[in-house]
């Protein structure tokens, strides 16, 4: 009996020793990998602010976008008034049919305007992050995406507007023009950017 008790004690010591070899962080990381949902993938959130040399700055009379939103893929949140370059900010959601039509046009414009106008997507009032992720993947969208589950930007620019909504924002972070409901194509967007932001692309 004493031999059995001695064997159990030795086994218990071995288990405690082996368990103690892994740090709490290491032990937790295994559980975290199995329990955590995969992180969203897609374009990096925001590149460094572009140079505004030769670009209009602070010339718009609309509201300033004093709002910070998280990146859809993680990383540092982005303050919309501090993009540092003229920008096209597009509010969209995976459940919005016209958004699906407009997003590829925005990508074509983003490719054409690279270095002169920053295109930013804002996924708005969309609890289905997986649906947004699928749309980003299916349409091969490469411009930065922010996430606004509570539609804070939509409330700030008010009154309530239909989606998609596209904001043209000057380098000072002020709204120069707003377009809602009907999807834009690349050529129409380029024309609006020239008219309201003074940037030819």
pLDDT of residue 2: 52
Q: Where are the domains of the chain?
A: 2-35, 68-197
139-148 pLDDT tens trace: 999 999 999 9
Closest CA to 179 of 69, 90, 59: 90
| Token pair in block for residue 151 | 């539609």
Instruction: Convert the pLDDT of each residue in 19-35 to its tens digit.
Output: 333 322 333 333 333 33
Cβ(99)–Cβ(179) below 8 Å: no
Give 141-144 contacts, CB < 8 A, sequence gap 24+: 141/42, 141/43, 141/103, 141/106, 141/107, 142/43, 142/107, 142/110, 143/43, 143/106, 143/107, 143/110, 143/119, 144/43, 144/44, 144/45, 144/46, 144/47, 144/71, 144/78, 144/118, 144/119, 144/120
H or E stretch covering 131: helix 129-138
Q: What tokens were used for 1? A: 């009996």
Cβ neighbors of 173 (< 8 A, separation 6 or more) are 58, 64, 65, 66, 80, 81, 82, 83
**CATH number of the domain located at residue range(s) 68-197 in this protein:** 3.40.30.10
Q: Read off the pLDDT of residues 151-176 as tens digits, 9 standing for 90 and up.
A: 999 999 887 678 999 999 999 999 99
Say yes or no to pLDDT of 115 above 50.
Answer: yes
pLDDT beyond 50 at 8: no
Q: What is the pLDDT of residue 44?
A: 64
Nearest residue to 86 (alpha-carbon basis) of 164, 196, 162, 189: 196
pLDDT over 70 at 63, yes or no: yes
């Amino acid at each position: 009996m004493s031999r059995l008790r001695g064997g159990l004690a030795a086994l218990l010591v071995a288990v405690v020793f082996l368990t103690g070899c892994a740090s709490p962080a290491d032990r937790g990381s295994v559980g975290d990998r199995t329990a955590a949902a995969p992180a969203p993938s897609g374009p990096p959130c925001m590149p460094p602010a572009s140079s505004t040399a030769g670009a209009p700055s602070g010339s718009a009379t609309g509201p300033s976008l004093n709002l910070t939103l998280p990146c859809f893929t993680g990383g540092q949140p982005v303050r919309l008034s501090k993009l540092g370059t003229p920008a096209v900010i597009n509010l969209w959601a995976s459940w919005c049919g016209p958004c699906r039509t407009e997003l590829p046009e925005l990508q074509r414009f983003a490719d054409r305007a690279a270095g002169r106008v920053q295109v930013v997507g804002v996924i708005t009032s969309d609890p289905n992050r997986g649906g947004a992720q699928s749309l980003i993947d299916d349409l091969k969208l490469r411009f930065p995406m922010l996430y606004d589950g509570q539609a804070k930007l939509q409330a700030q620019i008010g009154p309530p507007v239909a989606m998609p909504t596209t904001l043209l924002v000057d380098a000072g972070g002020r709204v120069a023009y707003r377009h809602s409901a009907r999807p834009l194509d690349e050529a129409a967007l380029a024309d609006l950017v020239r008219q309201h932001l003074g940037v030819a692309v």
